Amino acid sequence: MRRLSFNHAQGQVPGPGTLLAGLLLLLVAGVLLAVYNQLAADNAALQQQVQARQAMIAPAGAAPDKVALASKQASSAELAQAQAQIQTPWLPLLNTLEKVQQPQLYWMQLAPDAKRKHIRMTVLAPHRKQGWALVERLKQQPGLADVKLNTSESTDVNGVIMTTLQLEAGWRY
């Protein structure tokens, strides 16, 4: 069996410049650690002073907190009332509109008004008859009431003449 011979260079002891640089870096790290510890202690003392001052001010500020709490409760009650009035039954409304959808019709706008239970729609149709058929299909839907065609006009959309329909309907959800 052959003997393996590793050809490697012998290690050398670092020179005095490298040793001096290492010791200098170690000394700087120690100084930075001492400065960090001093800053952390000063920060803790300042936080205690701030908490003590806030504790002295807190009894005098107790009355405005009650007023602020009352105003927050009043605004949250108003917000809850507004949310109850604004709630729109999106799922049943969109399901009803999907039932009457045709591939050539393009829904451009749906604007519901939850207070009046009313929706305004803008639809693009390639032919006027398709728009009128949409109105008839909407009138047959049990979830919609008072379906009206407000306006019907021809519109140029990218060089194609389309019919723009403005519709209104009420919902029963």
Q: What is d(CA 158, CA 106) in angstroms, rounded to the nearest whole number?
A: 14
pLDDT over 70 at 151, yes or no: yes
Q: Are 37 and 30 in contact (CB under 8 A)?
A: no
- Condensed to tens digits (0 to 9), the pLDDT of residues 14-24 reads 788 999 999 99
Pick from 78-82, 90-94, 116-120, 137-141: least confident: 78-82
What's residue 48's pLDDT?
93
Instruction: Report the length, in residues, of the chain.
Output: 173
What's residue 136's pLDDT?
93
> How many C-beta neighbours within 10 Å does residue 35 have?
10
pLDDT over 60 at 63, yes or no: no
What's residue 85's pLDDT?
65
Fold of 90-171: Gyrase A; domain 2 (3.30.1360)
What's residue 72's pLDDT?
86
Burial of 48 (0-12, 13-18, 19+ CB in 10 A): exposed
- Condensed to tens digits (0 to 9), the pLDDT of residues 96-133 reads 889 888 888 999 999 988 878 899 999 999 988 998 89
pLDDT over 70 at 60, yes or no: no
What's residue 141's pLDDT?
92
Helix, strand, coil distribution of the chain in percent, nearest 5: 50, 25, 25
- For the segment 60-78, the average pLDDT, to the nearest whole number, is 74
